[in-house]
A and B are shown apart, each in its own frame.
Chain A
Amino acid sequence: MSAILESSAILESFKARAEAVSAQVQRVETKELAIELIVRLLHQEGVEDKPHCYAVWAACPMIGDNEKKKLEGAVPGLKFDVTRELAADAKVGISQLDWALANTGTLVQSAVEIDKRLVSTLPLLHIALISTAALLPDLPAVLTRVDPRKSAYLSFITGPSRTADIERVLTIGVHGPERLIIVFVDDLEVAA
């Protein structure tokens, strides 16, 4: 009980910080609900099997081959074979991240596989899945858990891409996504 309470307090803290940098935060109890939510989102976003309308999903442990097939059937235009051309042309990118940092609203990912970076950088919308149990308090906490020897590319993502280079006016979506939807999933395992 106390663990759940604790995790909801830390989640609230994460949510406040992430929303302050224009990310959207949701939470679902199960993987199945997460998949339902994503299917709904992809339909809402107008994902279709034609140029400029694709969605790309980087390989992640929660989606097995069976699920892939089911999803590809449910959402035409959703692709699991990510190429740079597809990712550059896609509307939506989906990936699973490894840790979340409560005091900055940050997501952290071991992103050695290039797909993970392509889907979270090139499309205009990035949907990030993350285990609720992967919430950590802060930067020092995650640095003790990652091993740069094993993860040659570590990505930290805090909100969508932004700039204030013209007249200091904050503008969202420069080279990366202009929207970031973070979905916490309670029954998802934490990455090793």
Chain B
Amino acid sequence: MNQEFKQSILDALSNPNLTGALGNFSVAYRAGRAKAYEGIDFEALRTQIADIKSSASSHFDELAEQFARVAEARGTKVFRTSDPNAVKDYILKLAQARGVKSIVKSKSMATEEIHLNKFLEKAGIDVQETDLGEWIIQLAGQTPSHMVMPAIHMTKEEVAGVFSDKVEDGQKPDIPKLVKFARGKLRPMFLKADMGISGANIAVAETGSIAIVTNEGNARLVSTLPNIHVAIVGYEKLIEKFADIAPILTALPKSATAQLLTSYVSIISGPTPNTDGTPKELHIILMDNRRNEMAKDPRFKQALQCIRCASCLNVCPVFRLVGGHVFGKVYTGGIGTILTAWFDALKQSDEIQSLCIQCGNCKDVCPGKIDIPDLILELRRRLAVEQGQPMIQKAIFSVVNNRRLFHTMMRAASIGQIPFAKEGFIRHLPMFLSNMTEKRSLPAIAAVPFRDRILKIKQPKCKEKAAFYGGCLIDFAYPEMGEAVVKVLNKAGIEVIFPEGQTCCGAPARYSGAYEVAAQNGADNIKALLSEDVKYVVSACPTCTVALKHDFIANLESVGRTGELPAARQLSEKVVDFSTLASQLLEQGRLKFKAGIEPTKFTYHDSCHFKRTLHADQTPRKLMKQAGHELVEMDECDMCCGMGGSYTIKMPEISAPILERKLMNVEKTGAPLLLIDCPGCVMQIGGGLDKRGSKIQVQHTVQRLADCLE
């Protein structure tokens, strides 16, 4: 990793103002957003938005053409260009022709994208940001740390300092007074400005209208007081119909700031009179800058459904730790990573894409229905294709794919540690793994992997068979989870087989962008798991289940191995996660809870893939409550634990504080038992609790269930 990037992460992590403000905001946002959407069918709403925006991006040029025609007929001047430099030149020429000396601006990401301020200032024009946060940042000479709240990283003391240094001495850190001060200083600038520059949140082709959304009222003033108004609008803001404003405007404030509607919305559809009676000179610049190219990319087209609410930042467990500065100067967070790759350059996303832990939180809340984690994986894949795979990664995959060799190597590393193993955890590891264990103990590698242990289990002969897919962690580190699966299924009259040919699920390769490797993993597993006629293919690892059920198909498709798709689909239909299968078997009366189970309080951690891809999160809760246990929900139960497969190795500095927060939330419940459906999360959280000397017992749902059945 680039040292500068690494340092920017470390700087952010050690900035308590930033992490404190973002951390508090993420909690408030979650509750506020839920309240704002009360009584609204979010899925229906975002499907509507996705359809509107997707249809628009299929016809960008036609819509831009129509917009220009309609708007020009009413006296607006429309300039269309694909070139950011042409935008800057157009504005400068206009400013010079009209003798513009000062400009007031309301917030516009498009102008930040093309670094307009710097360009105009160089030409001797005074450019004033008027959004309070943007003004603070501009005065401080910093860049925004959040797309919607640009100065969220600064304290009132710092703001008072900036105002005192740059504007007028003696400002006190009193927020209402600071706001009043800004009002007082910016008001004369609005009144004297020769030109107002704004962005737009929506551009309607049918009526040539733009909609601008603000809370402070600055866009109202920018578009009202100066005699010239220039709006810079990215093509992705185009929609076809005027009525289509409603769903976007319904979602945007709720997703952005948990408001029902922002204080002000202006819908401008042509020049209006100025105070001196002249008509406003209204210029609208429609800027392409690779949006059309993006629209023609079958994978990235959906990123144009973004309405710039920044909810993907607000729910991101990584963003709330590192903030926006590590992402670069313009677009930040999940969607920002994707936009940077396109509007700047693919290689610019090389470092920042690695920040994504693939938890899927953002995908769940995106009002544009964008699968952001999937697009980040696609960036990873394209970067891997462009730059080639690092040698070390290649070496790791070749070991991971050879199950016997992988186990032997892990076991060898583990055996050296046996003297330190305590209650199943390794206390210390060799140096090269040391940053993995600072906050967490690792499980001991089993002497005999599950693939050998299952051969020793005496199973009843049954008509119905299930193939068990182990995955690395159950096979090598937690074979007892596999044994519990066998125990439960045997009780239901199902015999469990372990096809020996099964190998890595391909998730590590997929999440590193190595799709060829991942596709081969899938092909090997399909062959192994379909080799015997079984009714179910069961896994107790959600990442593996998702791989078997969804990713094998996607991986084969992405590398063009379409001939193998029917087999992949056949496998997909048989695949089921353990808790879902157990719940079905209980409903069918094939499993029964035993009487006299001692009621225990438990808390439950939602594993990312289990909840957000498999949507099975309520099933284990229900099972355990049926068993007589009492659920005590923890705060942020569905927030990632920081494991993220190899994320914990690649980004230990970020993974550790994510884990810390999870441990705190677990401990706060006071429950003596934590249940999880993912062995990776068991390793992460269980290891973390062990390191703290906690007495909380951590189990996979299957382990607890095995003890609760007749």
Residues of A within 8 A of B (CB): 17, 21, 83-84, 88, 103-106, 112-114, 117-118, 121, 138-140, 143-144, 148-149, 151-169, 171, 173-177
If A151-B269, A152-B271 are given as contacts, then 8 extra A-B residue pairs at C-beta distance below 8 Å, sorted by A number, are A112-B273, A139-B245, A154-B269, A165-B150, A171-B175, A175-B130, A175-B220, A176-B264
A160 contacts across to B, CB distance below 8 A: 263
Partner of A156, one of B28, B131, B261: B261
CB distance from B221 to the nearest CB of A (A): 6
Q: Is the pair A84, B263 in contact by a Cβ cutoff of 8 Å?
A: no
B156 contacts across to A, CB distance below 8 A: 166-167, 169
Which residues between 161 and 190 of chain B lie within 8 Å of chain A, taking CB atoms? 175-176, 178-180, 182-183, 186-187, 190
- The answer to whether A157 and B268 touch (CB under 8 A), given A143-B246, A166-B132, is no
Partner of A148, one of B24, B178, B207: B207
B132 contacts across to A, CB distance below 8 A: 163, 165-166, 174
B133, B216, B270, B273 — which one has the most chain A CB atoms within 10 A of its CB? B216
B191 contacts across to A, CB distance below 8 A: 84, 88
Give the total number of A-B pairs whose CB atoms are below 8 A apart. 169
What is the 8 Å Cβ interface bit string for chain B, positions 631-668, against chain A (1 contact, 0 not)?
Answer: 00000000000000000000000000000000000000
Q: Is the pair B245, A143 in contact by a Cβ cutoff of 8 Å?
A: yes
Partner of B215, one of A155, A163, A177: A163
Q: Is the pair A121, B21 in contact by a Cβ cutoff of 8 Å?
A: no
B218 contacts across to A, CB distance below 8 A: 174-175
A151, A161, A169 — which one has the most chain B CB atoms within 10 A of its CB? A161
Partner of B269, one of A152, A164, A171, A176: A152
Q: Is the pair B261, A106 in contact by a Cβ cutoff of 8 Å?
A: yes
Bound complex: CA A176 to CA B131 (Å): 12
Q: Is the pair B225, A84 in contact by a Cβ cutoff of 8 Å?
A: yes
Can you list 30 contacts pairing A with B, beta carbon distance less than 8 Å? A83-B275, A88-B191, A104-B260, A112-B273, A118-B275, A138-B246, A143-B245, A148-B209, A152-B270, A152-B272, A153-B269, A155-B220, A155-B264, A157-B263, A158-B261, A161-B215, A162-B216, A165-B136, A166-B133, A166-B154, A166-B178, A166-B179, A167-B21, A171-B179, A173-B183, A174-B215, A175-B190, A175-B216, A175-B221, A177-B217
A139 contacts across to B, CB distance below 8 A: 245-246, 249-250, 261
Partner of B74, one of A84, A149, A169, A173: A149
Q: Is the pair B224, A140 in contact by a Cβ cutoff of 8 Å?
A: no
- The answer to whether A21 and B74 touch (CB under 8 A), given A114-B274, A167-B175, is no
9 smallest A-B Cβ distances: which pairs? A176-B217, A165-B133, A156-B265, A152-B270, A148-B269, A174-B216, A154-B267, A161-B217, A165-B132
Partner of B179, one of A88, A113, A151, A163: A163
The residue of chain A having its C-beta at the shortest distance from the C-beta of B245 within the complex is A143
Bound complex: CA A106 to CA B445 (Å): 62
Bound complex: CA A166 to CA B221 (Å): 21
Partner of B242, one of A117, A148, A158: A148
B31 contacts across to A, CB distance below 8 A: none
Q: Is the pair A140, B155 in contact by a Cβ cutoff of 8 Å?
A: no
Which residues between 293 and 316 of chain B lie within 8 Å of chain A, taking CB atoms? none
Partner of A174, one of B152, B154, B179, B207: B179
Q: Is the pair A140, B216 in contact by a Cβ cutoff of 8 Å?
A: no
Partner of A162, one of B149, B263, B268: B263
A140 contacts across to B, CB distance below 8 A: 243, 246
Chain A CB within 8 A of B262 CB: yes
A169 contacts across to B, CB distance below 8 A: 156, 175
CB distance from B64 to the nearest CB of A (A): 18
Bound complex: CA A72 to CA B175 (Å): 38
Bound complex: CA A17 to CA B149 (Å): 24
B155 contacts across to A, CB distance below 8 A: 167
A148 contacts across to B, CB distance below 8 A: 204, 207, 209, 242, 267, 269
B261 contacts across to A, CB distance below 8 A: 104-106, 139, 156, 158
B136 contacts across to A, CB distance below 8 A: 165-166
Partner of A144, one of B224, B243, B249, B275: B243
B259 contacts across to A, CB distance below 8 A: 21, 158
Q: Is the pair B74, A121 in contact by a Cβ cutoff of 8 Å?
A: no
What is the 8 Å Cβ interface bit string for chain B, positions 135-156, against chain A (1 contact, 0 not)?
Answer: 0100000000000011110111
Partner of A168, one of B149, B204, B220: B149
Q: Is the pair A149, B263 in contact by a Cβ cutoff of 8 Å?
A: no
Bound complex: CA A40 to CA B267 (Å): 34
CB distance from B328 to the nearest CB of A (A): 21
The residue of chain B having its C-beta at the shortest distance from the C-beta of A152 within the complex is B270
Q: Is the pair B186, A175 in contact by a Cβ cutoff of 8 Å?
A: yes
B154, B178, B275 — which one has the most chain A CB atoms within 10 A of its CB? B275
A17 contacts across to B, CB distance below 8 A: 260
A138 contacts across to B, CB distance below 8 A: 246
Q: Is the pair A164, B149 in contact by a Cβ cutoff of 8 Å?
A: yes
Chain A CB within 8 A of B414 CB: no
Chain A CB within 8 A of B266 CB: yes
Bound complex: CA A162 to CA B218 (Å): 10
The residue of chain A having its C-beta at the shortest distance from the C-beta of B187 within the complex is A88
CB distance from B327 to the nearest CB of A (A): 19
The residue of chain B having its C-beta at the shortest distance from the C-beta of A154 within the complex is B267
Q: Is the pair B263, A168 in contact by a Cβ cutoff of 8 Å?
A: no
